[in-house]
Copies of this chain bind each other. A is one copy, B any other.
Amino acid sequence: MTPVSIAEKSAKDMMAARENLSFDVETVRDYLFGGRTNWKTHKKIEDILKSDPAFDKSQRNFIGRVEAYERALAITNRLVELQRAHGWSKQERGQAAFILSEVLPITSHDVAFEPVFLGQASPAMMSEYWDLVSNKGIQGCYLQTELGHGSNVACLETTATYIPEAHEFDIHSPTLTSTKWWIGGLGKTVTHGIVQAQLILPGGENAGPHLFLVQLRSLEDHTTLPGISIGDIGPKACGGLAALDNGYARFNHVRIPRTNMFSKFAGVTEDGRYIRPRNPKHSFGGMMYIRASMVTAGGWTLARAITIAIRYTTVRRQGECDEHGLERQVIRYPSTYYRLLPILARAYVFIALGRQTLKEFTTITERSARGDFTKLSEAHAILCGLKVLVTNAVVRDLETARRALGGHGYSAFAGIGRLYADYLPAVTYEGDNFVLDGQVVRAAMKSYHAFMSTPSSPLGLHSSYIRLLKGNDPKPVLKEPTTTTIWQNSNSIVHLLEWRAALVLSEVVRHVDDLDANANQRLSKAVTDAFVAVKIGEMITGLDALPRREGDVIRALYHLYLLTTAEDALVDLFSTGLLQQSESRDRQLRLAIEQQCSRLLPDAVGLTDAFSFSDWALDSALGTFDGRVYEEIWRRAQLEPLNQLGNTPGYYESLRPMLQEGQKLTKRVNSRL
């Protein structure tokens, strides 16, 4: 038996994993944060947060929804206090909320209420309300989804009927299914809401869904205003978003002034005439911004999970004995690193790509504001595709990471269960992924037909792969068995993935009247894979700006992303003939992936250190910086409420009687023998 205890060994293993890194962690860290200044701001804010008792995380695994909600309010209050005390900008407070990584009821005010106000309120409404909104003198939410309608906004049932005699709208929930549902912050917290309702003009014409400001609760005592019925919709699956009071609301002929309509673009005159918006796409901005930010958010969510998984599998030893007679570190099993290192690669890609996406998106929004909508459709298609790709990958990868932790991965203390439960709805909200696939496909088909009829018309960024269908590039059929260089060359893989998208698209077009049921999902994935691949190619070029060692290791991660994307695409690559089936191309690819993983393995812990999660932020017994996982698991178990109780009432009422009855029965039997 080893003289060093297993618990002690885990700390030594963690230290050893940080030696002999091929790169400097802080340089890579600065790359992830978008520069040293951003990192310093992040650290400054985190140092304030992590020592403040209001943000202590140690009880949060043990409390129910009511306590969690109360805790979230206290956290919110403290956050706003700190903002005022430190003079944080809105962006800095946003960063603080991001670092906190807590589910907060006020988030809907920040991400849904305020932006819609900014984007849709008339100058009059802005002057009346904006200061109150931005100072949080009122708290708002965005009431779109109904019990009966989520995706199909055109069929919402809530009505806003204009009453010309009173210069008022009558907001009404005509049916059970018109009840607003799922509205974040509504259940207990907000005072106001933006209600999306069918605008009914005098005479009965339905002008479609529009937005209306409705006060929901009294500013005096928070009671729900007359004619309105509000509540929380109940707990979420897997205990997710527990502190968030997603709510429902029903309106019983509630009157609001005409001026409460969000009328920057559309409107109703005093005598009830409808003012048509000049561009129907004006309201896309907010939704697109949220989708753009989901790329970065997905990346950082993966970063948390993979930090935990790589750290723990580095210190956990189990099974076969290595050359020192110690059980092998779990991360060294090929089946482990083959699963985990690609997730690390995806975290890096999504973080870097997300930053770039947000930047490009901001440019496009500024153009739209100036009336230039040319890039808007393209941006919409790209963001739909990215939203699907990122959220699908993150949900799947969170479970892969959790599963790699073995038994202790099922403990709440591992920290991944919470990440999963809170992230899960991302595949459904902001556009159900299956619906968004359809939009990506629609845009691709449109580009295809435009290109085929007029090859000289420019292809947008989201469709540039289509150029291959009429270009001079021969379809690259990989035939030569001795040529393995494709898998070693990032540009070759990018090119392959573009060809795959082009060929899958032309197959779908060819069979458009007889599509198989999976076609939308396959084509959407192919198109977005190609887009991301091209972006990675650009990002790889951008690495030249980094010092060589750091550029190399990130380049290796990006290359691994491309390799595993190709692995995921093998069916298409065979089916389209891009890979010849008789030459073990798939085996070559898997070996290339393994090789790439082996190259990255000694740097794995360092690469997760670059994410710079403090132990407080990560809140995981298995992901502590020092690797002392067993001591931490033990310590947390002592906090379990069941352990603060002696015998519970249930012991006396149920268990004890059952045991005693069983003992009695046995005595009777035994005494008869």
Contacts and interface: CB of A to CB of B under 8 A. Distances in A.
A584 interface: yes
A655 B517 contact: no
Contacts of A336: 434
Given A238-B421, A571-B571, 6 more contacts: A73-B650, A80-B658, A138-B662, A147-B630, A222-B651, A574-B575
Nearest to A592: B516
Contacts of A327: 152, 155
A521 interface: yes
B630 A516 contact: no
Contact of A233 (B139, B334, B395, B640): B640
Contact of A137 (B61, B136, B420, B665): B665
A593 B77 CA distance: 55
Interface stretch (A16-24, A161-169, A185-193, A459-467): A185-193
Nearest to A575: B586
A131 B666 contact: yes
Contacts of A176: 5-7, 630-631, 634
Contacts of A62: 65, 234-235
A7 B175 contact: yes
Interface in A613-655: 630-631, 633-634, 636-643, 645, 647-651, 653-655
Interface string A504-518: 000100010011111
Interface residues of A, number: 154
Interface in A161-220: 175-177, 179, 181-182, 187-189, 191, 219
B581 A131 contact: no
A594 interface: yes
Contacts of A642: 65-66, 69, 187-188, 231-232, 245
Contacts of A575: 570, 574, 581, 584-587
A413 interface: yes
A152 B395 CA distance: 29
B231 A640 contact: yes
A64 interface: yes
A177 to B, nearest CB: 4
A402 B664 CA distance: 47
10 contacts: A7-B175, A66-B648, A70-B649, A73-B655, A76-B655, A152-B318, A176-B631, A237-B414, A517-B590, A575-B584
A640 B148 contact: no
